[in-house]
Structure formats: C-alpha cells, structure tokens
Amino acid sequence: MLVIPCPYCGPRPELEFRYGGEAHIARPEDPSTLDDEAWGAFLYLRSNPKGLHAERWRHIHGCARYFNVVRDTISDTILASYKVGEAKPDMDALARILAGGPRAAAGEEKSK
C-alpha cells in the first residue's frame, strides 16, 4: 500500500484517498469559443508520462481535501505533495533527486 503525505493530515494509507487524475489542467475560460477538437483535448488528452507525474488526490476518508502530488509512475515514489493553488514544484529538480534513487528522495523529504 502507498503511504501518501496529505499536506493537511500528514502521511496516511492509500485507502483513505481517491485518485483525481492529472493536476494543473485549467478549464478553458470560454468553452463556447473552442472547436470540438480543442474541447475534446481538454476533456480527454492527458500526458500519461513514464516518470514524474503531477496528479490530484483527494483525502476523501480524512480531511476530504483535494491536493496535488508528484509521483514517479515507474517506482511510485512520491516526491512532493502540496495544496491546491500552490505552484507546481520544479520537476527537473525532483527528477534529479529521483535519479539519486528512492532512498535519496526519502532523505530529501526528511530534511525538509
């Protein structure tokens, strides 16, 4: 089971959470001006990367808040967790931490 750090409640078991898909996807300001292709892209096209992924999680069986997490889709290492509205962390810097191995990433978490 993953242990996911909720920015409000701290580290919690995965089963208290629901996945919310990719983060930082802004709804178009005026959907009526979009053509079908652009609207379809907003609705359905996601980056699905192999590597670091910024994604939304909801602590539904806890504080019930949405927040964002940066997770490595290969190893499931979670590198960052931050509140909705906060800026996306520097993904390149996180990738360098990850390159040092999951243990280095855990050490980085502790030193915060």
Partner 1 sequence: MVETAIRTGALDALSARAPAIAAASLRTCPPASRFNFRGRPEAFGPAGEAFGVALPQTACRAASESGRHALWLGPDEWLLIAGDGEAAEIAAKMESALAGLPHSLVEVSHRNTALEIEGSHAADVINSGCPLDLSAKAFPVGMCTRTIFHKAEIVLWRIAENRFRLEVWRSFAAYVWAQLEEARREYGA
* Binding footprint of partner 1 on the chain (CB under 8 A): 1, 8-10, 12-13, 15-16, 61-65
Nearer to partner 1 among residue 39 and residue 65 (C-beta): 65
Q: Which residue has the tokens 């930082």?
A: 24
Q: How far apart are CA 75 and CA 102, in angstroms?
A: 8
- Closer residue to partner 1 (CB): 61 or 96: 61
Q: Minimum distance from CB of 7 to partner 1 (Å)?
A: 10
Provide CB contacts within 8 A for 65, sequence distance 6+.
6, 8, 58, 59, 83, 84
How far apart are CB 13 and partner 1 at their closest, in Å?
A: 4
Minimum Å gap between C-beta 51 and partner 1 is 28
Question: Two tokens at 87?
Answer: 């800026």
> Quick count: other Cβ atoms within 10 Å of Cβ 18?
12
Nearer to partner 1, 8 or 42 (CB): 8
